[in-house]
Amino acid sequence: MKDDHRSIVRRGRLPESASRPVVTPIWPSVVYSSRDADELSAQYDKRIDGYTYAREGHPNATVLAEKIDWLEGTQGGNVTGSGMAAVAAVFVGLLERGDHIVAGNQLYGRSLRLLTHDLPRLGFSTSLADPTDAAAIAAAIRPETRMVLVEVVSNPTLRFADMDAIARLARQNGLMLVVDNTFTTPRAYRPFDHGADLVVHSITKMLAGHSDVTLGYVAARKAELNAALHEAVVTWGFTPSPFDCWLAERGLNTFELRFERAQENARLLAERLASLRGVEAVIYPGREDHPDHARAKKLLDGNYANMVSFRLHGGRAQVNAFTRGAANIPFAPTLGDIGTTISHPATSSHRGLSAEERARLGITEGFIRLSVGVEDIELLTRELEAAIDASLSV
Ligand SMILES: *Cc1c(COP(=O)(O)O)cnc(C)c1O
C-alpha cells in the first residue's frame, strides 16, 4: 500500500493513439526529459529538434507564433507574455547602451512610459516626434539613432502615420523600422510588405479577441534579429504561458471572421453616429472628413478596421450618462474584444496628460472611443442611440 502510494508521483506513459487529436493539445510541462546525455546534448546543439525547458520555448508558443507569422508574412516570430514584453524585447534584445530611438509621440501609453522613463534610466536615449509628419521624424534622427518605432494608427484620435515616407527615411538612414501593428492588424496592413524590419503585436487585443489572455508577439524580417529577440525573451523571462497561447490560438481561428464583421459594423456605426444630435463629431478614417482619409485609404486598401471615436456634446456629466445608458456595453479600457467596448480617454489612457495637452490632441472631456465588436448591428445601434439620448437629457 505504502509503495503504491509512493508510485503515484511516477508519471505513466502518455496513452498511445494511432489517431491524432484534431485540436492542438495544451503542453503545460515546464521540463522535457531526454533519454540520455547524448540526446540532450544534441538538442542543445540544435542537431535534433526538441524542447528542454518552458521558458526557452514550448509547443503552444510555437504553434501560435507560426500562425501569426503566416498572417504577417514572415517566419521565426516570438510570442511573449504580453504586448509590452514584446515592445521591451525589441529594445533590450537589439540595442546597445547609448543608442538613440525615435518614436511616435502618440504611442500606446505604456510604450511612451518605457521610452520616456525607463529606457533613459538604462542608458538609451529617445526622442518623440509626430509620425503623421515625416519631416518631424526626419528632424529627430541623430547620428546615434538606430531605430524608429511607430504605430500605424494613433489612439484614440485615429491619426495615420506617414508610413511610406517613414519607411524611406529608415532605409536611407540605415535604421531599424519597428511597427506596432496592434490597431491595424495584418488584415488591414502588413508592415513587412511596406519596408518594416520588425513587427510587434499585443495579441491581447483583436488577434486573440476575447479579453481572456494577455500576450504579445514580435518578429523581425531577418533571421539573425529573430534569434537575438528569442535570446532576449528567454533571458529576460518574457515567455508566455502555454494555456494563454492555447486560448489565443483558439481565438485566432476566428480572427478574420471577427475582423470582417467588426469592421463592417464600425463602418455602419460611424455613419449612423454622425447623424445624431448628441454627437458633435465622428472620427473614423473611412469618412471623407477625416484629416488622414486619403492616406488611410491608400495604406489600408479600404480596411478601416473596427475603431470609431466620437465627441459627445457636453462634458463629464454627459459622459457618465452615456456610459450608464449603455449598460450592456462594457465601459472598459481595452480594445479588440469580440463585443463592443467603450473607453473614455480623458479618464483612462490619457489621464496622465493635462487638460491643455489633451485639448491639443483633440481629446475633449466628451471624447469617446469605441472598439466595435461583432454584435448584431441593429442591436448595437439601438443601444448606442439610447445612451446618446440619455446624455442629452442631463
Ligand atoms: C495594448 C497595447 C500594447 C500593450 O499590450 P499588452 O498586451 O497590454 O501588454 C501595446 N501596443 C498597443 C498599440 C496596444 O494597444
What pLDDT, in 10s, does the model give residues 314-327? 999 999 999 999 99
Nearest C-alpha to atom 4 of ligand 1 is from which residue?
A: 83
Residue 310 has φ and ψ, to the nearest 5°, of: -155, 160
**How far apart are the C-alpha atoms of 368 and 148, rounded to whole Å?**
29
Secondary-structure breakdown of the chain: helix, strand, coil percentages, each rounded to the nearest 5: 40, 15, 45
Nearest-atom number in ligand 1 for the CA of 203 is 7
67 belongs to the catalytic site: no
Mean pLDDT across the stretch 20-42? 96
pLDDT bucket at 11, cuts 50 / 70 / 90: confident
The CB density around residue 291, as the number of other CB atoms within 10 Å, is: 15
- DSSP letters for 20-59: --SSPPP---SB---SSHHHHHHHHTTSS----BGGG--H
Mean pLDDT across the stretch 360-380? 96
- Say what the pLDDT of residue 13 is: 81
268-312 tens-digit pLDDT: 999 999 999 999 999 999 999 999 999 999 999 999 999 999 999
The residue ranking higher by pLDDT, 97 or 3, is 97
Residue among 32, 51, 55, 287 flagged as catalytic = 55
Q: Distance, CA 201 to ligand 1 centroid (Å)?
A: 7
Nearest-atom number in ligand 1 for the CA of 85 is 9
Residue among 187, 205, 267, 369 flagged as catalytic = 205
What residues line ligand 1, using a CB cutoff of 6 Å?
82-84, 108, 110-111, 151, 180, 182-183, 202, 204-205, 214, 216
Nearest-atom number in ligand 1 for the CA of 155 is 13
- Say what the pLDDT of residue 12 is: 78
180 belongs to the catalytic site: yes
The CB density around residue 295, as the number of other CB atoms within 10 Å, is: 18
Query: Does the pLDDT of residue 45 top 90, yes or no?
Result: yes
Residue among 67, 108, 267, 369 flagged as catalytic = 108
Query: Does the pLDDT of residue 2 top 60, yes or no?
Result: no
Q: Distance, CA 340 to ligand 1 centroid (Å)?
A: 18
284 belongs to the catalytic site: no
Q: Are 206 and 83 in contact (CB under 8 A)?
A: no
Place of cell 490560438: 249
77-96 tens-digit pLDDT: 999 999 999 999 999 999 99
Q: Are 230 and 78 in contact (CB under 8 A)?
A: yes
